[in-house]
Structure 1
Amino acid sequence: MTAPDRLLYGGDYNPEQWPEEVWAEDVRLMKTAGVTSVTLGVFSWAKLEPRPGAREFGWLDRLMDLMHLHGIGVVLATPTASPPPWLGRLHPETLPRDENGQTVWWGSRQQFAHSSSTYRRYAAAITEDLARRYGRHPALRMWHINNEYCTFDYGDEAARGFRDWLRARYTTLDALNEAWGTAFWSQRADTWEDVIPPRRAQYLRNPAQVLDFRRFTSDALLECFVAERDIVRRHSPAHIPVTTNFMPFWIGQDGWAWAEREDVVSVDIYPDPGDPLGGQYNAMIGDMTRGQAGGRPWTVMEQAAGAVNWREVNRPKSRGLNRLWSLQSVARGADAIFHFQWRQSRQGAEKFHSGMVGHAGEEGRAFAEVKRIGAELALLEPEVAGTRVNAEVAVLHDWHSWWAGSQEARPSTRVVYEDVVRAWHRALWEAGTTTDFAHPEHDLSAYKVVVVPQLYLLTDAAIENLLAYARGGGRIVCGFFSGVADVDDRVRPGGMDARLRELFGIRTVHDWWPLEPGDSVDCGEFRGTLWSEELTAAPDAEVVAACRGGELDCLPAVLRRGRAWYLSTLPEPSALRTLLADVAADAGVRPPLPGLPAGVEAVRRGEVLFLLHHGRDEIVVELPPGQRPLRDLLTGAEYTGSVPLGRFAVVALRGERGRHGAA
């Protein structure tokens, strides 16, 4: 929990970029905007330690005291994401090397070798002194460790760390050789020194080696986080939580493993303002982060008040869009909404990345919207802070499967894992179904429906978990190319695990038929996209939809056996939405508000029903007949019968009994 019954609001504050006389103006504007917390120190290592061993804490002392004086809490960051230039100059072993062996130099950020003992020593030292000085400061609300852990390192110290990690995993070289299938292409390792990271090679690299290096990298970075986490915990009261910010749906970290070691799960969310489905992406990241948090409230650590600076074209957010997406995150369980950053930079690589206070200053449109969000969060806080979002449908996701399925040599590079997951989540979102994300080995018994967009790699434990869920009466809908490989990326006999083939009514997987760009498969009432498979059904399976014409004529596109469905293609969006909605309805899953117009999202958090309109044209949402009056927490307006929604509108409806009774 960030704090009991609180909604935190603010952003990254980088006052070292500005003269000190600006600080008082910042505080005035923060109070105007309803800011309750700011993040300090994320990239301040060179300011705090301008030379080895020096400590310059005076400026941070004054800031911490200033924030406390004005009732603004501090999320204090360790500065270890961006080492100062002197560290790389004096200790080049702290600089990472890419897969080509080239040094990644200072001059940007994240230029640290995660396995470097020297880097870890310096990072621990600055963290220790920071925590000792501020761990009990009255302004401290939360610790923020590092920032967006995303470094890959293929250097010599990483190679030694990789070998140590492999020894712990496999114990013997024989076991490693077996797991990696090194009989192929004469890759057998005779000594541990033969084992290196998957650096640039003449041709395709060993997929199992690449998979294990992904695992090792996630674990090595996690070691860095845990080391700093433990330091700040020693110097802080037990109620001060520790977090780090995930990048949204990023391939580099096993988010499930990391979330278990955080007190609060945090994420940075940057939907594209030019994407008509940006709201669905925002919802998906919220659902995933809430899943990682085990259903507890979570934190938006970064979002943009307007434009970012790293897309090919960086559009600002249209009027009302920042408010819509901020409140959408609250509706999906966030108890903290932060932006990057508070004041837009005038220099540096992110001077065109928006801020809560943009280049236009206090008079800018972005700041006006920032003020409105702050005021509305204060209105919502008594009713939603600390409450949960309940979902009856789970979307299964696993980073190890993603890593294995994204190997260099695969049937189709057009199959992009995150795009497939997003397509399935979109179908559920558009059907009005609230979803959780879940790990395939976690307890699934609370869900009425489990969907598997694509899990190429499934462990034996995950398969047994799915079978137990099915035996318990749960419904499973599984997408193509799933259950193909085991934990070592070894293709299972028959091209799909036999237990899963029996579950879904598949007699034989003859071959995979990925589709060329622009191709599709005629499946009768819909068209299949991206992929198809040559399957034959078991005698007791129902062919719900079959391919028509071509090499796969009459073969299953959608197969069902009992309460388990298998899709050998990716149905077009409307067909996937209909199929999943039908399965959910048959399982007794009911949307928070049925019959919504397109573009309107309904989410219930606690006893508050949020209606969010992702369109620009005014529409009307009909309430169920006989519904007692509902009051909008944001405006005080009462509604019976229907609710009008304008451009990017949000209403938060609650019945007379509020959070202690049904809304």
Structure 2
Amino acid sequence: MALMREAGVTMVSLGIFSWANVEARPGEYDFGWFDRVMDRLADNDVAVCLATMTASPPPWLAKLAPETLPRGADGTVLWPGGRQHYCPSSPVYREHAGRLVDRLAARYAGHPALALWHIGNEYGCHVSACYCDVSAAAFQDWLRARYGGVDGLNEAWSTAFWSQRYDDFDEVLPPRVNPAFANPAQQLDFQRFSSDALLDCFLMEKEIVRRHTPDVPVTTNLLSVWKPVDFFAWASHQDVISHDSYPDPHDPAAHVEAAYNYDLMRSLGGGAPWLLMEQAPSAVNWRDRNAPKGPGRMRLWSYQAIARGSDSVLYFQWRQSRGGAERFHSAMVPHAGTSSRTFREVSALGAELAGLPELLGSRVEAEAALVLDWSSWWALETDSHPATDLRQQEANLAHYRPLWESRITTDVVHPAADLSAYKLVVVPNLYLVDEATAANLVAYVRGGGHLVVSFFSGIVDECDRIHLGGYPAPFRELLGLHVEEFWPLAHDGEVPLALTDGHTATGTLWSEWLTVEGAEPLATFTGGELAGRPAITRHPHGDGVAYYLATRPDPTTMGLLLRRFAAEAAVPPVLPTAPAGVEATVRRAEDGSRYLFLLNHNPFAVTVPVPAGARDVRTGSAPEPEVAARGVVIARLG
């Protein structure tokens, strides 16, 4: 407790993996040791984000009920000895987990330390889908609810192909290992079901804690931007969005991906402040090469989360373990103890944050948005496509990074969301789109929005069936073109481009044989089979404009184009000029106060032009124009 006071700790997430310690044998509970920890935290004014302890069942459950263990697509049983060794659909697992949560919530309801419920932990991190017979039966029930009758399933899954017609839902299985390509619609629906199965586990526990503690908010820690779990489907069930962030210090672009993740977390909550639930004080333990965070980087990356909307800086873990799989994962109190760089840095940051209460509750505002849809992501990355190396996150970051480099604040939104607040919307690769979502994007442009759409978008419906009428049928009129053939490039292949303004460039990964139907070519292919054909187009539609990229331009050209499109949409950068590697955002408080964040990700000092009238929030004086290496400036704008 004394060390926590020294480090400035005001909240802990407690009990995440404590199930086996409080229920060592079935039905025998011992909360005495946990009571002492809760009481001591309360006595020291440390709030508790209390975990429901269900993320890792005790070994006795596997012995008592082996049917609770998950199976892989090839039938392999995933045994105890790690964590998350449970089938999400298992009623036996849910019964035991629910009983534990009921005891926990009843015991600590009204405890002065309890501030927030932490349901589960990093759902889907290790077992994102289970293929056992229990899951198969649950999948069949999920399909009955979705399609009503088996004829609806056959239509949606196009089962006339390869003699896959089903006569009864009981014949349907998860996409287990088979001799050929699994049905793409079956794969897609199983991804949806698996995310929903995990969500059902969360909602079961949420209902229990809500019954005992109706006024205590509920959250779960969303892991990075995690493909198996549809964050948009989960977001409305959280009272506050929480996030676990582990950028790689070896990755020179780690801070850009982290910014993208943070922008999504902020967007999931409708712009409300979110919680950085976990980050490493220094090194992690689970990569091939686990680099520590160099001096100043933990502070810089912590402020990056705050700059993009977080109202917290938490860490995993408090005291570094002597044994276990995460014994080399860093901690606030490392093996070296308090006479360590890590403890000194986290303590110094704790003191700094305690002096910035005026930032709490303020919000980040964005005039640009990037579109992400989990169903489209899942469908895009299935097999039997024109190219099987299209990756959604790679596409998103290729479009996001130029906006970050231009200091244009960008939300990350679902394509069916209300887009009217945004002047520019970027659609990296929206392979799957239903009619209503397509109509939403078309209406956005018709109403005056500027939309950027990249290749292989608008190709299939919600059941992974081709939209007929010429690619991309839902967007053909909007874009003023149609695509006759997909022309993926060879591995590591490139195609030369010429922009109408004289700029020469390179396209990568993909190309398309397209014919304009009213669109204006902004660039053409100048080599290969498509030489002379349009590569990038612009098409006014209603009161807005739609752009189309039939290839992925090289990073320099992508930046040039997105800056040009943003300028045409009247989307200003936070700062018009700043050195490369400098991140800039603004948070706005309810009283109208605006706070400028400048983060220098360079290992050297830079000079940044700060707006006139700005005042450093710590000193009250004008900020120095030089920002130190890995330095942070927070200024109240005049």
**TM-score > 0.5 by shorter chain:** yes
Tell me the distance in 1 between the aligned counterparts of 2:292 and 2:197.
Answer: 37
* Cα shift at 1:534: 1.1
- Which residue is equivalent to 2:343? 367
- Which residue is equivalent to 1:602? 584
- Which residue is equivalent to 2:163? 186
The CA RMSD over aligned residues, in Å, is: 1.1
2:284/2:328 contact within 8 Å kept = yes
* Cα shift at 1:422: 1.1
Secondary structure of 1:363 counterpart? coil
Bigger RCO of structures 1 and 2 (CA < 8 A, at least 6 apart):
1
Equivalent runs, 1:26-37 vs 2, <5 Å: 27-37=1-11
Tell me the distance in 2 between the aligned counterparts of 1:493 and 1:124.
Answer: 47
Equivalent runs, 1:273-292 vs 2, <5 Å: 273-292=249-268
Tell me the distance in 2 between the aligned counterparts of 1:644 and 1:237.
Answer: 49
Matched, 1:356 2:356: no
Task: Kindly tell me the number of residue pairs found equivalent between the two proteins.
Answer: 621
Which of these residues, 200, 205, 221, is aligned with residue 182 of structure 2? Answer: 205
Matched, 1:156 2:143: no
1:207/1:407 contact within 8 Å kept = yes
Q: Deviations over 1:153-174 (max 9, x none)?
A: 1111111100000000001111
- Which residue is equivalent to 2:104? 130
Matched, 1:589 2:565: no
Q: Deviations over 1:591-638 (max 9, x none)?
A: 1111111000110011100000000111101134xx12x22224x162
- Which residue is equivalent to 1:313? 289
1:485/1:496 contact within 8 Å kept = no
Which of these residues, 495, 506, 524, is aligned with residue 527 of structure 1? Answer: 506
Equivalent runs, 1:43-122 vs 2, <5 Å: 43-122=17-96
2:56/2:84 contact within 8 Å kept = yes
Q: Deviations over 1:128-162 (max 9, x none)?
A: 00000012100011000000111211111111100
2:472/2:483 contact within 8 Å kept = no
Segments of 5+ residues of structure 1 without an aligned counterpart are 1-26, 656-662
Matched, 1:247 2:223: yes
Which of these residues, 509, 516, 519, is aligned with residue 541 of structure 1? Answer: 519
For 1:638, the aligned partner's letter is S
Change (3 A) 1:79 1:495: farther
2:460/2:467 contact within 8 Å kept = yes
Which of these residues, 371, 377, 401, is aligned with residue 396 of structure 1? Answer: 371
For 1:644, the aligned partner's letter is E
For 1:277, the aligned partner's letter is A
Which of these residues, 496, 503, 523, is aligned with residue 471 of structure 2? Answer: 496
Matched, 1:235 2:245: no
Which of these residues, 616, 619, 638, is aligned with residue 632 of structure 1? Answer: 616
Which of these residues, 126, 129, 148, is aligned with residue 171 of structure 1? Answer: 148
Tell me the distance in 1 between the aligned counterparts of 2:420 and 2:4.
Answer: 45
Tell me the distance in 2 between the aligned counterparts of 1:312 and 1:590.
Answer: 40
Q: Deviations over 1:222-245 (max 9, x none)?
A: 11101101111111141x210011
Q: Deviations over 1:16-59 (max 9, x none)?
A: xxxxxxxxxxx111111111001111000000100000111001
Q: Deviations over 1:530-583 (max 9, x none)?
A: 111111111x21100110021011111111101100001111112111111111
- Which residue is equivalent to 1:425? 400
- Which residue is equivalent to 1:24? none
* Cα shift at 1:494: 4.3
- Which residue is equivalent to 2:602? 615
Segments of 5+ residues of structure 2 without an aligned counterpart are 499-503, 589-593
Tell me the distance in 1 between the aligned counterparts of 2:28 and 2:305.
Answer: 41
Q: Deviations over 1:470-500 (max 9, x none)?
A: 1110000011111111000001124534230
- Which residue is equivalent to 1:450? 425
- Which residue is equivalent to 2:413? 438
- Which residue is equivalent to 2:279? 303
For 1:472, the aligned partner's letter is G
Matched, 1:555 2:533: yes
TM-score of the pair, normalised by structure 1: 0.92
Secondary structure of 1:68 counterpart? helix
1:494/1:509 contact within 8 Å kept = no
Tell me the distance in 2 between the aligned counterparts of 1:127 and 1:514.
Answer: 51
* Cα shift at 1:409: 1.8
- Which residue is equivalent to 2:501? none
Secondary structure of 1:338 counterpart? coil
TM-score of the pair, normalised by structure 2: 0.96
**Sequence identity of aligned pairs in percent?**
51
Q: Deviations over 1:410-460 (max 9, x none)?
A: 222322111110111111101110000111001000000110011100111
* Cα shift at 1:515: 1.8
